[in-house]
Every structure is written in structure tokens, then in C-alpha cells.
Chain A
């Protein structure tokens, strides 16, 4: 308790506050939410470090200036004011200086944002909108609570076999991120693929106004960011802003996701592991080397094989194949394109180390549908010991307990041999779910993810499969 309180008086404290602002992408609400729940500020920079950007350094200077100002004020009062009250006043200023700093640092941030950042951003976005308006490429927008990046990468890989395709890198899915990318376009691109991020209601509509898509993919709706959306209805409404914008133009909807399927409208093309449009999907197979399936329509057969893992990938792959065929690619081009789709960074990406342990890095997958799909994939693996490592999922709002109990039950049903849990506010629910389902394997606890990662080489032997599910950034620790 005292240790926690004293951590606010550590010399690292101002840097920790600025780091967290940076880690929260300068979102003041997220920063304040982190500040209110954090007890100990001595080890904030755990997973990442403060990056010395101009904005970050400026804020750090401002933070120290605020701190010196507060202490200077306290000293000034001691020297100049008479009467015993000056001691109490000076003491109170010093006592509350960490709190005043934590809130005070937000004010210059707001000032910077209003005076400098927002006008510049508006200009960049407006220029990008103009550029996209005159750009002749087919623009595909992808919205959904999960699976957007995977869909974007699949589409980019497959369509590149016959078209000149461009898509924003990393997870550039905000107005500013996409606008920055648009600046790099040369104008000769035939297809542009955009991931439309949704963090708050109305986000997708704003992105549609910028991107002006002529085709859309809705990958699914679930509890991701539920804390921000407050209800799943609002999430559905936000994601379907893409369908609203497109009207009669083509919209592909992931039929494997219940909410997406239920909200699909007439004319939408529903895809899943059994069908896409008029194509039927047969002979689905998956293992650690990849996934294969056959698409058939009116006697035409298309045998496809991807290095992506899991049967849940068949739907998006088939949808991409259909989109590609509709955009004029040949069967061979589609086949080649699908064969070139690979696991993406931190999304069920397999790596075999020198000791012969296979790690499936799924640390960017932090949504319930993705987790279910991955557990189903693990369940299909035979003749190996399976480790499932997770700190649980974040931002699940009121669904937190239920979702994590479900994960525990799924793991128990899949008979995963070892479940490694990171101690935090949600993983105890996974343990409850495991117990409720009569789990027979071993649960191993670690205080933090880094300790678990360090222990993994000592926990595993050749042939073991280790799944790293989700990763908590520092603001959730």
C-alpha cells in the first residue's frame, strides 16, 4: 500500500505518465482510465518503452516543467508567506503534486491537439479524400470486430496475381492512418483495399466518407471494444455503416459469425466454410502445414491450398477467391494467389525453434471468435502436447466473466494438455470455466507474460505445440 503510494514520487513517474499517453495513442479517456485503475507506478514500461518522438519529448519537458513549477510554488510559499499555514500549504502542494501532474499534463495535450494537430489532420484527411475521389481504382472496404487485417492481407495477396493492388500497411485503419497512406499512392493502382477501424460509433461512416468504397467485406461482429461501444447493438450498427454506405453495391458477410449473419441484408453475399455465393466448398482439411479445400460451381472445380492455419480461414479465402474471379482474375491466378497467402505476423503464425518446439504466435488475436477458431484448430492437432498461453481478452465489458468462462470450457473440451494463465483480473474466470467442464490437464500460473515466455523453453520439449493467445499492452496490465 505505502509502496504503491510512494511510487508516485519516483523520478520515473513523469516519464511513466508520458509513456502511457503515448501507448494510449494520446487518447485522453484511455489514459485517464489507466491512471485511475493503476496502483503502482514503479514499473509501467514493461512490454514496451517510451519512444522519443518529438511529441513525446515535448510532453516530457512539459511534465517536468509542471513538476518544477509545483515544487517552486511550494518553496516560494515557504519563503514569502508568513504564518504557520504556509507549512501546511507547501506540504499539500508537494503531497498532491503527482496527482496535479497526472491531470495537468492533459491540458497541454488538449491545447496541442486543438491548435496544431487537428487543423493539420483535417488538412491531410481532406487532401486524401480529394485524391481518392478522383482515383479510378476499385476500392474495397473491410469492417468488422475481428479478422480485418487477415481479410485485407488475403485480398491483397490474391488480387495481386492479376491486378495492381495497394493497401495500407500494419493496422492503419483510422482517418489519419489511411490518409497518410493515400499520400503514397501513385494513381495507377487498380485495386485499393482498406481496413476500416471501429473504436467508437460513427467511425466506419466517417471512414467510408473518406475511402468511398465500391465493395465491402464484413468480417464479423463480437464483443471486441465492447467497453467503448457499451452494447453489441451499437457495435453492429457501427460496423454495418459500411453496408449502409454501399447500398446495392456488393457486400460480403462472414456467415460463420452469428451477429454478422443475422444482420446480413438481401443481396449480401454470405461466406463460410461451406459456401460463398453460388460456390460450394468441399473437402476442407487443415494441419500445421496449412489449409486446403475445393470450390465447386456448375461442374467447375477449384482446388485451393493456403499456408494459413485453421478451418476458419476457409471462408475468408473462398470470399477472396470469389471477389478475385468477379474482378476478372483467372482460375490459375486465383489458385496461385491463394497458395501465396501466408500466416501474418502474430496471427496464428507458426515458428519452429531449434529445440523442435512449434510456437503458434496468435498474440494479435484478442477476440472471442478468433479464440474459438484457434482452440478448434488446436483440438484438431494429434500426437503432440499442446500448451495454451493467455492473459485473457481485454475490453469485454459486462461480458468479461462469461466470455472467459467459455474459453475455459472450450479448452477443457479440446483436452488441451497445459493451460498457462497470466494472473490478472480475467484469467480466474478461464480457470473457473476449466473446472466447470472437468478439465483434466494442468493449469500453470505466472505473474506476468514475460515470466511465462521466459519459462516456456524450460516447460516444453521437442514436438510440443505452444499457442500464444493475445497479448496485453501496458495500459491493460
Chain B
């Protein structure tokens, strides 16, 4: 009997389309090729509607010109999180599918940020990738820096503020930003895939960059730019025992590795960042590589990551200082191109992630979450009234 696996993707996020690519390449593609699972795609549209149809296992479904009209005719699926995850198509010919394992493939808000992980924890089924806590912290670039700094993991100096802070008294923040070493980067705190990130070299550009960032988020981070920059990233996999992929260096065409470079450049198949635009393994000093690997592992453990994550680093080529930049708990297309170069095929990557999910779930099952107490019986008694 094949296990049923649900790949959940799309979502109300700026990275909705990237999520569709990740879900199909390599996740669904590998799951179907393995032939060991009954694969059910769960697609969350930009308006938040949930759909599930095995026709969506084919990426071509989403590339059709009449995709939106097809979707409008599609029957919405209901998801039940009560004691397991079930996909239900209500109606006269109602149908229910019991899901054994979930494979979240959502980037950004309402997915990668821990929202989906919370639902899956409630359902009580194994799910692939980082759990709720790591996902939530990693989604907030500021929170990530604060947690890492507390563990003496180097991060670049920064200033952060909310939309409300900015609207109340923007000049205070302008002053604080002025004290940073320029140029600076302005980033929305919760967005991935380099969306709405700007490098600001002079004061006149700052306000506009902040306004753009606030268009996408209610919390903004302004941090020092690392000059003589060597930007590298390191995908890591595992729960307790960690396996590192290759250190990858994006070969920037622009001043930083933006959304287009990551997902659209070069690769006609559009299956995520590709080798043409990155150097794998990165041609950096052995000592720097060692630092990246050490900080990578420490960051992964400090945030409580499990399954898979990708740690981004900024290296000052002159001072040889390494900073952790951010943590991505669902790397685009799982960075399978990098894993492949590290000797892990698409199918091996997916099956390993599934086994890690099951391993974590089994371990969580051993934790006691409820216990019998006398508190209800005593409620309303004299002491409680007092």
C-alpha cells in the first residue's frame, strides 16, 4: 500500500510562483518518479483558496494560458486537521483522501513563516522541512540576527523599525541609519527571494527604498553593506546529524543576487538558481570555507532547524570576516542543483527529507504534551474564588 503524500504550494505570498516551481522541480517530479507514493498536490491560490487535483502534479497545468479560468471551474478542496490531515471534496460525489505525510513547498508568508507548520502540527502528521519555531524565527530577518548575535554568531550591524515607528517619527530612524557605515541595504524583514531589497548609497535614495520595503512588509531592516563582498550560501540537511552541500557563490550580474538572477536567468526550464550563475563549490580560501561551514552548522542548530535549510553568508574579502546574513528554511527548488553537485540526486534528496520528517515526527511522538490533572475538579472552589 503506497503512502499518501501531499505537496502543499502556492499561497498568499510574493513568492507564490516560485513556490509552484519548487513544488514541481524537484519535489513532485521526484516523488512521481520514485513510484512509492500516491502524490496529491495541494495548491493554495493567491486569494487563499485551496485546491487539490492530481492534474496539478504537472507543472504545465499552471503554465496554461487559461489557467485562471480552469481554476475557477475547479472544485475547492476542504482540509481537515482533526486527528490527521484529510483532503475533502464535498458534494454529492464527495471524496476524502487521508494524507500520511505533508511536504510543504511554500515560500514566504503564510507558508514558510511557520503558519503552515502550525496547522500540520495540529493535524499531527509528519511534515518535511523545518518545524514551526525555526520557520518563524528564520522568516524574521531581525529576529534571526538577534538570536544569532546572542549565540556570538557574527551578523552585520543593523537598525530595524516597524511601519508605525517610521510613520510616527521617521527622522529618528534616519539618524540611526546615518550612524551605520554606508552604503546600506534596505530590506523588508519577512520577504525572501530578494524581493524589494535595495542597496542605498546616498541619503536621497533612502526614503524611497524604505517606502518600497514597507509596501511589502510592516517591519524593515537597514543593515550595513559588506564591501569587497563575497556572497556565499550553504544548503544543509539533517535533524541531529547534519549533511552539508557545497558552498555556492552566486556570480552577481547586478550589485546583488536578486529575484531574477535566482529564478529566471539563464535556465530555460526555470528550475531555480542554476550553475551558470553560481560557482559550486565556491572558490574561496580553505579557512573561509571552514568558517562558513562552522557558522552554518551553528546557525542551523541555534535556530533549531530540521530537515533542510540554506544559510546565506556575507564575507568581507579584504578583512576575511564572515557574517551570517539570513536563513532560508525552504530554499527555492530545495537547491537541488547544489545537492546534485554534492552527490545527492533529486530522488535521494526528496527521500532523505521524507525520512528526516518521519524521524522527527517519531521523536515528537515520544514527548508528552498532555497529562491528567485535578484542576477542573477544583475550579470554583474556595481558593480559586479568592
The residues of A with any CB-CB pair to B shorter than 8 Å are: 385, 446-447, 451, 454-455, 458-462
Q: Which of A385, A455, A460, A462 sits near B35, CB closer than 8 Å?
A: A455
Are B344 and A455 in contact (CB-based, < 8 A)?
no
A383 to B296, CA, bound (A): 28
A427 to B348, CA, bound (A): 23
Would you give 5 A-B contacts (Cβ < 8 Å), ordered by A? A454-B33, A458-B29, A458-B33, A458-B347, A461-B343
Could you tell me the distance in whole angstroms from the C-beta of B48 to the nearest C-beta in chain A?
A: 32
Tell me which residues across on chain B come within 8 A of A446, comparing CB atoms. Answer: 35
Q: State which residues 123-160 of B face A: CB under 8 Å.
A: none
A446 to B30, CA, bound (A): 13
With a 10 A CB-CB cut-off, give which of A446, A447, A458, A462 has the most chain B CB atoms. A458
Could you tell me the distance in whole angstroms from the C-beta of B278 to the nearest C-beta in chain A?
A: 15
A451 to B343, CA, bound (A): 22
Tell me which residues across on chain A come within 8 A of B34, comparing CB atoms. Answer: 455
Nearest residue (CB) in A for B26 is: A458
Are A460 and B345 in contact (CB-based, < 8 A)?
yes
Are A461 and B347 in contact (CB-based, < 8 A)?
no
Are B345 and A462 in contact (CB-based, < 8 A)?
no
Tell me which residues across on chain A come within 8 A of B344, comparing CB atoms. Answer: 461
Tell me which residues across on chain B come within 8 A of A458, comparing CB atoms. Answer: 26, 29-30, 33, 345-347
Nearest residue (CB) in B for A357 is: B345
A84 to B319, CA, bound (A): 101
Nearest residue (CB) in A for B344 is: A461
A454 to B343, CA, bound (A): 19
**Interface readout for B335-377 with A: 1 if CB under 8 Å, 0 if not?**
0000011011111100000000000000000000000000000
Could you tell me the distance in whole angstroms from the C-beta of A358 to the nearest C-beta in chain B?
A: 15
Are B347 and A455 in contact (CB-based, < 8 A)?
yes
Number of cross-chain contacts by CB at 8 Å: 30
Are B35 and A447 in contact (CB-based, < 8 A)?
yes
Could you tell me the distance in whole angstroms from the C-beta of B265 to the nearest C-beta in chain A?
A: 19
Are A459 and B348 in contact (CB-based, < 8 A)?
yes
Could you tell me the distance in whole angstroms from the C-beta of B199 to the nearest C-beta in chain A?
A: 35
Interface residues on B, range: 10 to 19
A460 to B345, CA, bound (A): 5
Are B347 and A462 in contact (CB-based, < 8 A)?
no
Could you tell me the distance in whole angstroms from the C-beta of B41 to the nearest C-beta in chain A?
A: 18
Nearest residue (CB) in B for A355 is: B340
A164 to B260, CA, bound (A): 62
Q: State which residues 28-42 of B face A: CB under 8 Å.
A: 29-30, 33-35
Are A459 and B35 in contact (CB-based, < 8 A)?
no
Are B345 and A451 in contact (CB-based, < 8 A)?
no
With a 10 A CB-CB cut-off, give which of A451, A454, A461 has the most chain B CB atoms. A461
A431 to B346, CA, bound (A): 24
The 8 closest A-B pairs by CB, nearest first: A455-B33, A458-B346, A458-B347, A458-B33, A459-B347, A459-B345, A461-B340, A458-B30
**Interface readout for B272-289 with A: 1 if CB under 8 Å, 0 if not?**
000000000000000000
Q: Which of B33, B340, B348 sits near A462, CB closer than 8 Å?
A: B340
A458 to B35, CA, bound (A): 12
A459 to B348, CA, bound (A): 7
A24 to B35, CA, bound (A): 30
A413 to B137, CA, bound (A): 49
Tell me which residues across on chain B come within 8 A of A461, comparing CB atoms. Answer: 340-341, 343-345
Tell me which residues across on chain B come within 8 A of A447, comparing CB atoms. Answer: 35
Could you tell me the distance in whole angstroms from the C-beta of A463 to the nearest C-beta in chain B?
A: 8
Q: State which residues 10-50 of B face A: CB under 8 Å.
A: 26, 29-30, 33-35
Could you tell me the distance in whole angstroms from the C-beta of B248 to the nearest C-beta in chain A?
A: 15
Tell me which residues across on chain A come within 8 A of B33, comparing CB atoms. Answer: 451, 454-455, 458-459
Nearest residue (CB) in A for B34 is: A455
* 4 further A-B pairs in the complex, CB-CB below 8 A; given A461-B341, A461-B344: A385-B343, A458-B29, A458-B33, A461-B345
A447 to B33, CA, bound (A): 11
A200 to B30, CA, bound (A): 45
A460 to B33, CA, bound (A): 12
Tell me which residues across on chain A come within 8 A of B343, comparing CB atoms. Answer: 385, 461
Could you tell me the distance in whole angstroms from the C-beta of B237 to the nearest C-beta in chain A?
A: 15
Could you tell me the distance in whole angstroms from the C-beta of B88 to the nearest C-beta in chain A?
A: 27
Are A451 and B347 in contact (CB-based, < 8 A)?
no
Nearest residue (CB) in B for A460 is: B345
Tell me which residues across on chain A come within 8 A of B345, comparing CB atoms. Answer: 458-461
Tell me which residues across on chain B come within 8 A of A459, comparing CB atoms. Answer: 33, 345-348
Could you tell me the distance in whole angstroms from the C-beta of B305 to the nearest C-beta in chain A?
A: 24
A121 to B343, CA, bound (A): 57
Could you tell me the distance in whole angstroms from the C-beta of A461 to the nearest C-beta in chain B?
A: 5
Could you tell me the distance in whole angstroms from the C-beta of A452 to the nearest C-beta in chain B?
A: 9
A96 to B219, CA, bound (A): 76
Could you tell me the distance in whole angstroms from the C-beta of B59 to the nearest C-beta in chain A?
A: 14
Nearest residue (CB) in B for A463 is: B343
A385 to B340, CA, bound (A): 13
Could you tell me the distance in whole angstroms from the C-beta of B350 to the nearest C-beta in chain A?
A: 9
Tell me which residues across on chain A come within 8 A of B29, comparing CB atoms. Answer: 458
Nearest residue (CB) in B for A464 is: B345
Could you tell me the distance in whole angstroms from the C-beta of B34 to the nearest C-beta in chain A?
A: 7
Could you tell me the distance in whole angstroms from the C-beta of B97 to the nearest C-beta in chain A?
A: 21
Q: Which of A385, A451, A460, A462 sits near B341, CB closer than 8 Å?
A: A462
With a 10 A CB-CB cut-off, give which of B34, B35, B346 has the most chain A CB atoms. B35
**Interface readout for B243-276 with A: 1 if CB under 8 Å, 0 if not?**
0000000000000000000000000000000000
Nearest residue (CB) in A for B30 is: A458
Tell me which residues across on chain A come within 8 A of B30, comparing CB atoms. Answer: 458
Tell me which residues across on chain A come within 8 A of B348, comparing CB atoms. Answer: 459
Could you tell me the distance in whole angstroms from the C-beta of A346 to the nearest C-beta in chain B?
A: 23
Are A451 and B340 CB-contacts (below 8 A) given A458-B29, A458-B347, A460-B345? no
Nearest residue (CB) in B for A423 is: B35
Could you tell me the distance in whole angstroms from the C-beta of B77 to the nearest C-beta in chain A?
A: 28
Nearest residue (CB) in B for A455 is: B33
